[in-house]
Amino acid sequence: MTPLVLACVVGAAILHAGWNAVLRGGSDRLWSMTLMMIAVAAVSAVAVALLPWPDAASRPYVIASALIHTAYNLSLVRTYRSGDLGQTYPISRGSSPVLVALGAAVFAHETPGAVAVLGIVLVSGGILSLAFQGRMRADFVPAALTTGSLIGAYTVVDGIGVRLSGNSLSYAASMFLLWSLTMPPLYWAMRGTPPAYTGAQTAMALAGGLVSLLAYGIVIWAMQSDAMGAVSALRETSVVYAALIGRLFLGEELSPRRIASCLAVALGAACLAW
């Protein structure tokens, strides 16, 4: 992995931690997600109008990814409702790099080297260990693993699709547009009238949508040339940045065990950058 790609994916991880903080802070997370998707739709519609179409071979992947992303949105909101975020979020994010590496091996014939495998295991293990540092509840684990499986699925689909597209920007814009257009109708079908958000809450959610677009757009661009498992694992270091943000700005506890988990993730990231 080149220094440029490494820096961009780490930057995407930091952005990812930011937009998830926006989503977690919303009083109606499904509406916050819908507002985020409205912002994504506005930007991606302009991009689709200006860019060439992705190559025909990639278009089924665009459709498949948009549908999986929609299922992921709904699963993510459900996961956030079902249990302690300190446990559900690490399970969702920590399980996905291993699933991506396995999916890439089966469907894209990617074979990571020994150091890369060690890096993926360290990142996933470090993230998953964050979920087991308090009293564990088993009832929300299926929802968290479902979310992790959907993350793995759309990542592999996008990794294959972008390589067939001829243009990573065209692929990303098309997928983002199709995905984002699914959320407003789903919200109104499920909830009806949206809540009375303040102007500041609405602006925060819209900004979160733009951040999410940039964060995952970088990941799609990186997977055009680099191994999906490595890119996915680096992306999931966002959990570490979220923990640091919580400690620095929200006064959350950073215990020795939590620090050890973060160090394992950092060591795994170093292996992937080797």
Whether the CB-CB separation of 54 and 165 falls below 8 Å is answered with yes
CA proximity to 245, closest of 16, 4, 7: 16
Q: What was the pLDDT predicted at 156? A: 97
Give the helix/strand (H/E) hosting 3.
helix 3-25
d(CA 220, CA 9): 10
Is residue 211 within 8 A of residue 195, CB to CB? The reply is: no
Q: Average pLDDT for residues 154-165, to the nearest whole number? A: 97
**Of 5, 7, 19, whose CA–CA distance to 214 is shortest?**
19
Of 15-29, 88-102, 217-231, least confident by mean pLDDT is 15-29
Q: Residue 137, SS3?
A: coil
Residue whose C-alpha is closest to residue 122's, from 97, 90, 154? 97
Contact between residue 31 and residue 191 where contact means Cβ atoms under 8 Å apart = yes
- Asked if residues 98 and 154 have their Cβ atoms less than 8 Å apart, the reply is no
Strand boundaries in the chain, DSSP class E: none
| pLDDT value at 205 more than 90 | no
Lowest mean pLDDT among 35-49, 94-108, 131-145: 131-145
Domains of the chain, residue spans = 3-272
Residues with Cβ within 8 Å of 218's Cβ and at least 6 positions away in sequence, in order, are 8, 9, 11, 12, 15
Q: Compute the average pLDDT of residues 179-195.
A: 88
Q: How confident is the model at residue 162 (pLDDT cuts 50, 70, 90)?
A: very high
Backbone angles phi, psi at 251, to 5 degrees: 70, 20
CA 126 to centroid of chain Cα atoms: 17
Residue 254 one-letter amino acid: L
Contacts with 241 (C-beta within 8 Å, 6 or more apart), sequence order: 13, 14, 17
Reported as a pLDDT band with limits 50, 70 and 90, residue 176 is very high
Quote the pLDDT of residue 64: 98
At residue 247, the pLDDT reads: 74
Residue scoring higher pLDDT (130 or 64): 64
* Cα 232 to Cα 100: distance, rounded to the nearest angstrom: 7
Q: Please say whether the beta carbons of 64 and 153 come within 8 A.
A: no
Percentage with pLDDT > 70 across the chain: 89
Q: What mean pLDDT do residues 5-33 have?
A: 80
Calculate the CA 158 to chain-centre distance: 12
pTM for the structure as a whole: 0.88
Exposure of 98 in the CB half-sphere (CA atoms within 13 A): 16
Residue 93 · residue 148 · CB < 8 Å: yes
Task: State residue 243's pLDDT score.
Answer: 73
Residues 202-215, mean pLDDT to the nearest whole number: 90
Average pLDDT, the chain: 86
Residue 26, pLDDT > 70, answer no
Q: How much is the pLDDT for 254?
A: 74
Whether the per-residue pLDDT at 169 is higher than 80: the answer is: yes
DSSP state of 194: P
Longest CA–CA span in the chain (Å) reads: 52
* Percent of the residues in the chain that have a pLDDT greater than 90, as a whole number: 41
Question: 3-class SS at 63?
Answer: helix
108-142 as b/e: b if 16+ CB within 10 A: bebebeeebbbbbbbbbbbbbbbbeeeeeeeebbe
